[in-house]
Amino acid sequence: MSSPCVIGVDFGSDSVRAILVNAINGEVLASRVSYYPRWKEGLYCNPSINQFRQHPLDYLETLEEVIRGCIEDTSAEVASRVVGISVDTTGSTPVAVNREGVPLALTAEFKEDPNAMFVLWKDHTAIREASEINQHAKRYKTDYLKYVGGVYSSEWFWAKMLHVLREDEKIQRAAYTWVEHCDWIPYELTGGRDVTLLKRGVCAAGHKGLWAEEFNGYPPNEFFTALDPLLKDQVQRLGNQTYTSDQFVGKLSYQWAEKLGLSTDVVIGVGAFDCHMGAVGGEIEPYYLSKIVGTSTCDILVAPEKIENTLKGICGQVNGSVIPNMVGLEAGQSAFGDAYAWFKNILMWPLQNIYEIEESKLQEIESTLLSKLSEKANVIVPNVKHPIAIDWLNGRRTPFANQNLKSSLLDLNLASDTVLLFRAVVESTCFGARKIAECFIEQGVPVKGIIAMGGIPKKSPFIMQMMADILNMPIKVHKSDQTCALGAAMFAAVAAKVYPTVEDAMRNMGHGFEKIYSPNKDVVGIYQERYDRYLLAGDVIENNLYDVQ
């Protein structure tokens, strides 16, 4: 009998990826990537005010392209063996929808309105609203923020919804409810036409939406109405039931089956955020910190038993958000690879804007600049007197989310050259990673080691070795180039009943690890001194220059 196949789809910040996988052994039979065309042109975004919006057509067009591409790269026979599709997305990335569940940007009235589009995870226009939520929550005897680390972020669902509703009266009138990207794609693929029937995943609802088992759902309507009357009855339209990602939403609609060249028997799984499915694709183990390292990081830890206390300063503590019957804990850094990209752009600006250099040469320089800097920085022995950087270029996600914060470079002198500054920026991102690990450990949750996934762990031994030295922990780098899509494929296999549990899917479909970075004991001590300086500098900056959210 031919092996069943599944498709995992990973919606990232810039593009969508799909892999078609043999569900029995995890072999990737085809893989496609497509970049969002409107996003690539910079449409509907305004970085100066941290506004980042994405048009739903970018998602729909590229989704069709990558899945059809995978089918075209294999055969009709393989297509006939596809039994399930699951998706992961960035988050929190919500959108206003009408009663039918159609994003307002897909209607004629709102097709060019950024407020009618998906509000990308890194959109920080809702800083004020997040601050108000934090202050408002203090008035209640019940701690409604206890399962999101005690601090609500401008990157999350309710803050973004409230900001848009305040800013746009037309959206107020037209929006029936709001839906996360990871919940909307399965709804769309199954032909949903009544948003009250939409199945919301526990991942998004618990980590970003304040849903919790203890509350029997979300905080009450009174909590939101007292915050702002614009939120009246919004929580009631979300429903109280949520679903783990091993469950299914429904089957592929006729319309999408025709578009994709697949059967209407294909099962569509419940969606989740990229880092949560990526942790599964990266074969997460209990008490290992799984780091999806890219433009930002998302850190996931799972605990197989109940955690008696609620952790402060993290991005959520939700039963079943990663693996059913385990507690999922989330943290992360708002800028990781983005910090290196910022530094590269600073260096490239004169070459691109002052000197006349051939485009091909510029592209060559840009593509190799960071690797060349890494080579130079790698031979420098760390010294306590070297420059120190603070890694808040996009605010701080964990511990204790605060998007008001800004990055800084300190301890500069006339000997501070480009390589030392680059090294300081890299160090700062690794220091931020250590601060996250300590946030878990100091609150009684052990961290046995690190599992790293994504482009940076596979491409930069310099950064990964520095991280191992600074954390003083081993780091295992996963083999797969597409751990998020692979995790989605594993969930698709469970939703389609190929495997009874997520753990079974991981054991059979996992790709294993390609390298382990062990700490260099010769430099652990000096990094400890530099980390202490990083902590001191961060405290001074946060408590004297910026308002705490």
Decide if 297 is inside a domain: no
Give the pLDDT mean for 87-116: 97
Beta bridge partners of 96: 178
Q: Are residues 469 and 389 in the same domain?
A: yes
In a domain, 315, yes or no: no
CATH of the domain at 76: 3.30.420.40
**Confidence at 53, pLDDT banded by 50, 70, 90:** very high
pLDDT reading at 421 higher than 80: yes
d(CA 322, CA 140): 29
Asked if the bond preceding 416 is cis, omega within 30° of 0, the reply is no
- pLDDT at site 2: 86
Predicted confidence at residue 548, as pLDDT, reads 47
Are 85 and 120 members of one domain?
A: yes
My answer on whether 490 and 341 are in the same domain is: no
Q: What mean pLDDT do residues 375-400 have?
A: 95
* Number of domains the chain contains: 2
pLDDT of residue 549: 43
Give 162-186 pLDDT, tens digit per residue. Answer: 999 999 999 999 999 999 999 999 9
**442 is a domain residue:** yes
| pLDDT, average across residues 462-485 | 97
* Residue 19 contacts residue 482 (beta carbons within 8 Å): yes
Nearest CA-CA partner of 20 in 88, 90, 84: 84
Q: Is the pLDDT score of 304 beyond 70?
A: yes
Please check whether residues 220 and 350 belong to one and the same domain: no
3-state class of 544 per DSSP?
helix
**What is the arithmetic mean of pLDDT over 280-288?**
97
Q: What DSSP string describes 4-72?
A: PEEEEEEE-SSEEEEEEEETTT--EEEEEEEE-HHHHTTTT-BGGGTB-EE-HHHHHHHHHHHHHHHHH
Residues 471 and 358 in one domain: yes
Domain assignment present for 324: no
Hey, which bits of 280-338 come out as E strands?
A: 288-293, 297-303, 317-319, 327-333
Above 70 in pLDDT, residue 65?
Answer: yes
Residues 387, 351 share a domain: yes
Asked if the structure places residue 331 within a domain, the reply is no
Mean pLDDT of the chain: 96
- Per residue in 187-229, pLDDT (tens digit) is 999 999 999 999 999 999 999 999 999 999 999 999 999 999 9
Are residues 416 and 272 located together in one domain of the fold? Answer: no
**Which pLDDT belongs to residue 38?**
98
Q: Are residues 152 and 248 in the same domain?
A: yes
* Judgement on whether residues 498 and 404 belong to the same structural domain of the protein: no
290 inside domain = no
Question: What backbone phi and psi angles, to 5 degrees, belong to 268?
Answer: -110, 120
State the Cα–Cα distance between residues 185 and 206, nearest whole angstrom.
18
| pLDDT beyond 70 at 5 | yes
pLDDT band at 105 (very low <50, low <70, confident <90, very high): very high
Token pair listed for 165: 């509703």
Cα(398)–Cα(507) distance, rounded to whole angstroms? 31
Q: Is the dihedral of CA 471, 485, 90, 202 positive or negative?
A: negative
Domain annotation covers residue 221? yes
Helix (H, G, I), strand (E, B) or coil at 357: coil
Residues 183 and 253 occupy one common structural domain: yes
Q: Are residues 367 and 421 in the same domain?
A: yes
Domain limits for position 533? 337-478+519-545
Element at 162 (helix H, strand E): helix 157-167
Instruction: Using the predicted structure, report yes or no on whether residue 297 has a pLDDT greater than 70.
Output: yes
User: What pLDDT shows up at residue 190?
Assistant: 98
- Whether residues 386 and 237 share a domain: the answer is no
